[in-house]
Amino acid sequence: DSGVTQTPKHLITATGQRVTLRCSPRSGDLSVYWYQQSLDQGLQFLIQYYNGEERAKGNILERFSAQQFPDLHSELNLSSLELGDSALYFCASSGMTSSYNEQFFGPGTRLTVL
Amino acid sequence: AQSVSQHNHHVILSEAASLELGCNYSYGGTVNLFWYVQYPGQHLQLLLKYFSGDPLVKGIKGFEAEFIKSKFSFNLRKPSVQWSDTAEYFCAVTSSTGGFKTIFGAGTRLFVKA
């Protein structure tokens, strides 16, 4: 158990819908990262937050957005869902400003878009 | 563009065989290097990491990796694999020129035959 929790574990929804994925980092970690893992794209970095502020942006679509709240949990919002958004979404956390440190991954949320 | 390449996408070995998984990166500047492992149905977890110092890094479960700066490589090795090493292995890199992003390789799926 990494100490990072993600909810829900599984999510099944339809195209065009909007979903919210939730992540709670390890106690004391200020940085939260979101990744998308799919069979064809591999593990793709989406976005990083540090203590509530966006820190780095990766291959995140405009239909996706994220935020980190004062209690440090983070949410990833996916809207206008398409079939290709079906993937495993991982959250990770780390304890320092940069991602030079080890990241601790959560169990992931498996999103299926029908 | 900054990238991480893992040469082998699928590797099949028999138990007790030696393992070497290749990882090359295209970053400049100071790099921090990681190998993560994802066992079937589980989240990613850190195997080992290199920040500075001795370029030969030892990790958990008998794994080691060698950072060769001149070759931009960080290959993962294990002298004798076990069936329980069946998993997907990801090389990851952050760099001083890459902002705060961690870029993951595409992963190598290792299957160890008992």
pLDDT of residue B42: 87
Amino acid at residue number B90: F
Instruction: Please name the residue that has the structure tokens 């290097």.
Output: B33
pLDDT of residue B28: 72
Residue B102 to residue A107, Cβ atoms within 8 A: no
For CA atoms B47, A46, A2, A51, the dihedral sign is positive
B33 vs B59: CA distance, rounded Å:
12
The Cα angle at residue A24 between residues A22 and A29, in degrees rounded to 5:
140
The pLDDT mean for chain A works out to: 91
| Model confidence at A56: pLDDT above 90 | no
β B56-58/B108-113 pair status: unpaired
Give φ, ψ of B71 to 5 degrees: -105, 0
Nearest to A43 among B90, B94, B101 (CB): B90
Nearest to B43 among A50, A98, A105 (CB): A105
Burial pattern B44-60, b for ≥16 Cβ within 10 A else e, equals bbbbbbbeeeeeebebe
Cβ contacts of B46 on chain A, cutoff 8 Å: 102-104
- Residue B41 structure tokens: 């149905």
Predicted confidence pLDDT, tens digits, chain B (114 residues): 678 999 889 999 999 999 999 999 987 777 889 999 999 988 899 999 998 899 999 999 999 999 999 999 999 999 999 999 999 999 998 876 666 678 889 999 999 998
pLDDT of residue A43: 86
Give the 3-state secondary structure of residue A84: helix
Q: Using 50, 70 and 90 to split pLDDT, how confident is the model at A1?
A: confident
Amino acid at residue number B64: E
Interface test with B, best of A97, A102, A109, A110 (most B CBs within 10 A): A102
- Residue B52 structure tokens: 């500075």
Q: Using 50, 70 and 90 to split pLDDT, how confident is the model at A64?
A: very high
Of B29, B27, B42, the C-alpha closest to B90 is B42
pLDDT in tens, B61-73: 999 999 999 999 9
pLDDT higher at B94 or A14: A14
Spell out the residues 6+ positions from residue B76 whose beta carbon is closer than 8 angstroms to its own: B19, B20, B21, B23, B35, B47, B48, B63, B64, B65, B89, B91
A53 vs A8: CA distance, rounded Å:
24
| Model confidence at A39: pLDDT above 90 | no
